[in-house]
């Protein structure tokens, strides 16, 4: 019986505290905001330039590889075995160079994207922090993360857009 009174007393106290300090929830979509940030266009342009450069280099390597393949296929039947093995080795080495280049190119693009996007994420987080503090939000949920904890929260996307200077 004492446990029941203790539980009721604890519940009453916690409800009283909640009434004094209401929880204010907000939500937004960070992916939407990142796509609207003016810096995104510049970042995309830089990534496209790098991608074009890497694709150009890959085309050169592929052309060189195709040339080696055609030269190998055009060898006469009486070609010395040492020449055949040497050309076969060059082709295998060229295949490895192309594979390594593709892997390195993907890594380079990923690193460059991270380098360009990180300042945007930090700017967005700063704006969210400021809007949250200025408007007394206890929690702000990111809908792009796929987790909606509470559906009757205020959408603060417009407030963060204003803080970021985004007009559309």
Whole-structure pTM value? 0.69
Residues 25-82 pLDDT 10s:
888 899 999 999 999 999 999 999 999 999 999 999 999 999 999 999 999 999 999 9
Residues 155 and 165: their CA atoms lie apart, in Å, by: 17
Q: Which residue has the tokens 């010395």?
A: 80
pLDDT exceeds cutoff 90 at 153: no
If you compute the radius of gyration of the chain from its CA atoms, what whole number of angstroms results? 30
91, 69 contact by CB (below 8 A): yes
Q: Which residue has the tokens 């195709």?
A: 66
Domains annotated for the chain, with CATH where assigned, are 23-164 (3.30.910)
The DSSP symbol for 166 reads -
Find the mean pLDDT for residues 112-141: 90
pLDDT for residue 21: 63
Question: Quick one: pLDDT band at residue 136, thresholds 50, 70, 90?
Answer: confident
pLDDT exceeds cutoff 80 at 92: yes
Question: Distances from the Cα of 76 to the Cαs of 81, 85, 90, in angstroms?
Answer: 11, 14, 18
Element (H, E) at 85: helix 81-134
Q: Which residue has the tokens 């007393």?
A: 9
């Amino acid at each position: 019986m004492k446990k029941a009174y203790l539980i009721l007393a604890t519940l009453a106290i916690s409800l009283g505290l909640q009434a004094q300090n209401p929880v204010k929830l907000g939500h937004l979509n960070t992916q939407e905001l990142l796509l609207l940030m003016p810096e995104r266009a510049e970042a995309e342009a830089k990534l496209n330039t790098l991608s074009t450069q890497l694709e150009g280099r890959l085309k050169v390597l592929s052309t060189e590889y195709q040339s080696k393949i055609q030269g190998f296929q055009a060898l006469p039947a009486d070609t010395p075995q040492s020449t055949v093995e040497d050309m076969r080795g060059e082709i295998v080495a060229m295949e490895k160079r192309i594979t390594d280049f593709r892997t390195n190119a993907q890594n380079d693009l990923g690193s460059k994207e991270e380098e360009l996007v990180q300042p945007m994420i930090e700017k967005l987080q700063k704006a969210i922090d400021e809007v949250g503090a200025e408007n007394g939000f206890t929690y702000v949920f990111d809908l792009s993360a796929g987790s909606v904890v509470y559906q009757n929260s205020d959408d603060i996307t417009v407030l963060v857009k204003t803080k970021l200077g985004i007009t559309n």
